Chains A and B, each alone.
Chain A
Amino acid sequence: MARTDFQRAQVAFSVSSVSIPPSEDGPKQWDLPEGGWHDLIETATRGVFEMMLGCTLTRVSLATSPEGDITAMVGLAGGLCGVVSIRCSLATANLLASKMLGIDTAEAESATRDALGEIANVVAGSVKAAVPGLEDTCFLSTPTVVIGRDFKVYSLGNSTSTAVPFEVEGSAVWVILDVHH
């Protein structure tokens, strides 16, 4: 296990393993847009990046699984149970922090984890806002940030995972929604 840093830890979900079954577009009890979770995640994430960071994300196709040395996670509980994660390299997270704060990357280095956690928080809020009926029934945890790439996350039941890769200034950023059933 690589070094793991639980920043601002308030872990509302198990963080000891990851089981990522093949991506599915979610159960039918939610009124999702035509493109399912993929399009919903894309719309929510692009909106957050444009408003908070002033940058445009490009959705890309990557053959790899989500990877990166920093992962910010926000738990969902209630009407939708699961985890929203954002994963990328530390350099990319540092770039995002600099854009968020409007300062250069060297100056933003100490704020990198906090910034990625907040991005995950707002993306999670936007995802739940996009699903009719979830606003009053689904609640968010505060963010948890994990540093390291050699870890797995297991949920305590069945879950489906939808991972959407984006590119910002040539760097990959993954947004992942794990829904627990």
Chain B
Amino acid sequence: MKKVSVLIVDDSAVMRKIVERSLRQAGIEIERVLEADNGASALAVIQQNVPDMIFSDVNMPTMDGIEFIRQLQSVESAKGVPVVMITTEGSQTRVMEALSLGAQGYIRKPFTPDQVRAQVAPLLEGK
């Protein structure tokens, strides 16, 4: 598995750090971490740098995670980039909405590095 660049989208800087740490603890080799504090700023980041993988919170001000992945679908350069939602929301309706819009994984807070690895490793196979 090669080193990957990841975009972590969360309005909490603390949570962004925890996601990064959990990815490293899960054995994911990270080359570069990009950060954004809501969906709109994440779309702006992607215009400059397309990551190998995106981790996004759902509940955020300005643009939430659901709207973010909806708009991400029309960003040609980001086609095929896996998105994993990381959230406190366990609503099946929200989970299904995120998955139907193109999210490929869903991790619920609080989480362990093992749970992160289980979601992320299959998405990185072949990268």
Q: Which residues of A contact B (CB under 8 A)?
A: 8, 10, 47-48, 51-52, 97, 100-102, 111, 114-115, 117-118, 121-122, 124-126, 128-129, 135-136, 139-142
Stretch at the interface among B11-19, B72-80, B119-127: B11-19
B27 at interface (Cβ–Cβ under 8 A)?
Answer: no
Closest residue of B by beta carbon distance from A102: B21
B88:A121 contact, CB within 8 angstroms: yes
How far is it, in angstroms, between the C-alpha of A125 and the C-alpha of B87 when the chains are bound?
9
Given A122-B110, A135-B91, A136-B93, A114-B21 contact (CB < 8 Å): no
From B14, B87, B91, give the contact of A100 (CB < 8 A): B14
**A39 and B50 alpha carbons, distance in the complex (Å):** 46
List B contacts of A101 (CB < 8 A). Answer: 14, 17-18, 21
Chain B interface residue count, CB cutoff 8 Å, equals 23
Asked if residues B91 and A142 are in contact (CB atoms below 8 Å), the reply is no
Q: A101-B17, A102-B21 are in contact. Are A125 and B61 (CB under 8 A)?
A: no
A135 to B95, CA, bound (A): 11
Could you tell me which B residues sit within 8 Å of A by CB distance? 11-15, 17-18, 21, 59-61, 87-93, 108-112
> B11 and A142: CB pair below 8 A?
yes
